[in-house]
Amino acid sequence: MKLKDEYTQLLSMYRHRWNLKDNGDPMVTHSSVLQPMVWDGNNVILKIALINEEKQGNQLMVQWNGHGAAKVFLHDDNSILLEQLSGETALFQMAQNGEDDQATKILCDVAQHLHSVESSAKLVLSPLKQWFNELFKAEEKNKALFSESASIARNLLESQINSTVLHGDLHHQNVLYSKEKGWLAIDPKGLYGENTYEFANLFCNPDHHVALIPGRLERQLDIVCNQTGIDRDRMLQWIVAYSALSASWSIQDGMDAALALSINAQALKLLS
């Protein structure tokens, strides 16, 4: 893959600034440039943010300082150098191979660990009310599809409890295993709001084969509520809200929203 000149120049700048050596090919997403590197004898990942959302997430990784998340060795306003996790044991593989319940419990443990870390008032975070704007825009275009879920989301956002710093995108592929420190989070969005939101994403993951197994939503709902103490109906309402938001993102990006809409319909039925 040929990189844009600006990305090549950025990587070169950080190689010299932080004394890095290449340890794999670079990868570019819509939001960041990433490359495996070696720094001071450690296998690391250089992550250069291309948009503000990723910059927020990078700063949150710095704030967590390795507590429940991958350790950040070096950072500046745009980039972080974080430990490379092996990924030898993967949550999405566990879920696909009959250990879905255990994967959910691990995600709950990681979320609760992150929520317990003291945060700085200097952190720039996106409030959940702002995060849900896309759902409300989608409602204006398609009231039949989104009106009920958007109404539930509004009520939740106006009655938030137990608000805290949120990872914002906690799912099976954003929690990796470290032999030394166990399960650690990567790639946060950096949100602020009710802690229940954090758990809603896992019901739409790791893929449609697992997420749409009959009875799966109810089983994982019991596990999450038992492990966290969250009220069952409150959790269901956040699943409705999140799945509708996820569907609105997919539709906006021209992608298939069937999985999110199916979870949404299941959660609405359980609430009725």
Q: Are residues 66 and 101 located together in one domain of the fold?
A: no
Q: Please tell me the number of Cα atoms within 13 Å of 44 on its side-chain side.
A: 25
Residue 222: CB atoms within 10 Å: 14
Q: Are residues 214 and 237 located together in one domain of the fold?
A: yes
Contact 48, 79 (CB under 8 A): yes
Residue 263 CA to residue 249 CA, distance in Å, equals 15
Model pTM score: 0.95
Given 169, 207, 233, 256, which residue is catalytic?
Answer: 169
The domain tally of the chain equals: 2
CATH number at residue 193: 3.90.1200.10
- Output Rg (C-alpha) for the chain, integer angstroms: 19
Contact 72, 65 (CB under 8 A): yes
Residue 89 CA to residue 252 CA, distance in Å, equals 33
The closest alpha carbon to 190, from 105, 133, 119, belongs to 119
Q: Are residues 104 and 205 located together in one domain of the fold?
A: yes
CATH number at residue 33: 3.30.200.20
Q: Are residues 224 and 256 located together in one domain of the fold?
A: yes
Q: Is 222 one of the annotated active-site residues of the chain?
A: no
Q: Are residues 115 and 238 located together in one domain of the fold?
A: yes
The closest alpha carbon to 241, from 156, 127, 174, 177, belongs to 156
Residue 195 CB contacts under 8 Å (≥ 6 apart), including other chains: 111, 115, 162, 163, 164, 166
Q: Are residues 100 and 196 located together in one domain of the fold?
A: yes
Instruction: Tell me the three state secondary structure of residue 131.
Output: helix
pLDDT along the chain (272 residues), means of 10: 86 98 95 97 97 95 95 97 87 96 98 93 92 98 97 98 97 94 96 98 97 98 98 98 98 97 98 94
The residue range of the domain holding 190 is: 91-271
Question: Strands, E, within 115-174: which ranges?
Answer: 126-127, 163-166
Structure confidence at residue 119 (pLDDT): 82
The closest alpha carbon to 196, from 238, 227, 243, belongs to 238
Element (H, E) at 37: strand 32-39
Structure confidence at residue 96 (pLDDT): 96
